[in-house]
């Protein structure tokens, strides 16, 4: 099967015209860590053709930083007619957004061993299914642990700072 390179914006236009094609790309940020890894996991997004279920991982567009950007985050809930999302590595919900801004559902990810920009070595990584009940349960548990993760954030950062100072001291030998 021949692969074509198109932007997410072009893919969205095709989907709006009735196309049922997936789009695959590398993530650029770390907001979905530890589940999805920056520049290492290829995510495949399919058009959204069903009602969202809490724990789903979705692709949406966002304008909160003054420019249009595409974001992959976990669906948390509906608040009225708005969609509430949150990244797995985030401590606060995203701004509520209209349902029309949700473009697709992350079907699966491929964990690559190594990655060079522009490379799409399909099939060469471990496949992680993300559109299933097990993945949604993981997401719901992860979201329920948010208060614990917030509380652990301070001691974790302190331990990392101390650890890096110890490493620097050991490297210097003094």
Residue recorded with tokens 């567009």: 61
- Residue 53 sits in which domain range? 8-172
Mean pLDDT, the chain, as a whole number?
84
Looking at the 3D structure of the chain, how many domains does it have? 1
In a domain, 1, yes or no: no
pLDDT digit string (tens) for 6-61? 777 888 788 878 888 888 888 888 889 888 888 788 889 998 889 999 999 999 98
pLDDT digit string (tens) for 116-129? 555 555 556 788 89
Instruction: For residue 75, list its beta bridge partners.
Output: 85
Instruction: Compute the distance between CA of residue 167 and CA of residue 150 in angstroms, rounded to an integer.
Output: 26
Sign, Cα dihedral of 125, 130, 133, 134: positive
Nearest to 106 by CA among 41, 39, 56: 56
- The CATH number of whichever domain residue 19 belongs to comes to 2.10.109.10
Highest mean pLDDT among 26-40, 69-83, 155-169: 69-83
Output the pLDDT for position 70.
87
Instruction: Compute the distance between CA of residue 80 and CA of residue 8 in angstroms, rounded to an integer.
Output: 28
Count how many Cα atoms sit within 13 Å of the Cα of residue 20 in the half-sphere of its side chain.
Answer: 1
Instruction: Compute the distance between CA of residue 109 and CA of residue 128 in angstroms, rounded to an integer.
Output: 5
Instruction: Compute the distance between CA of residue 117 and CA of residue 74 in angstroms, rounded to an integer.
Output: 25
Tokens of 54: 């809490």
In a domain, 81, yes or no: yes
Nearest to 55 by CA among 109, 107, 128, 131: 131
In a domain, 2, yes or no: no
Output the pLDDT for position 135.
92
At 62 the three-state DSSP class reads: strand
User: What is the bridge-based pairing of β-strands 97-98 and 23-26?
Assistant: unpaired
In a domain, 3, yes or no: no
In a domain, 127, yes or no: yes
| Greater model confidence, 72 or 169 | 72
In a domain, 137, yes or no: yes
In a domain, 103, yes or no: yes
In a domain, 44, yes or no: yes
pTM of the full structure:
0.77
Supply angle C-alpha 5, 7, 9, rounded to 5.
150
């Amino acid at each position: 099967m021949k692969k074509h390179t198109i932007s997410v914006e072009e893919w969205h236009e095709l989907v709006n015209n009735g196309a049922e094609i997936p789009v695959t790309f590398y993530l650029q940020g770390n907001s979905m860590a530890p589940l999805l890894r920056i520049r290492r996991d290829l995510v495949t997004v399919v058009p959204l053709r069903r009602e969202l279920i809490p724990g789903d991982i979705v692709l949406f567009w966002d304008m909160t930083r003054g420019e249009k950007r595409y974001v992959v985050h976990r669906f948390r809930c509906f608040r009225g007619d708005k969609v509430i999302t949150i990244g797995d590595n985030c401590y606060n919900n995203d701004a509520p957004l209209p349902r029309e801004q949700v473009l697709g559902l992350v079907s699966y990810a491929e964990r690559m061993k190594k990655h060079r920009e522009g490379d799409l070595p399909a099939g060469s990584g471990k496949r992680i299914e993300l559109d299933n009940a097990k993945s949604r349960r993981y997401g719901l548990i992860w979201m329920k642990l948010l208060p614990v993760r917030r509380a652990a954030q301070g001691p974790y950062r302190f331990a990392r700072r101390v650890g890096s100072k110890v490493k620097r001291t050991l490297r210097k030998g003094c």
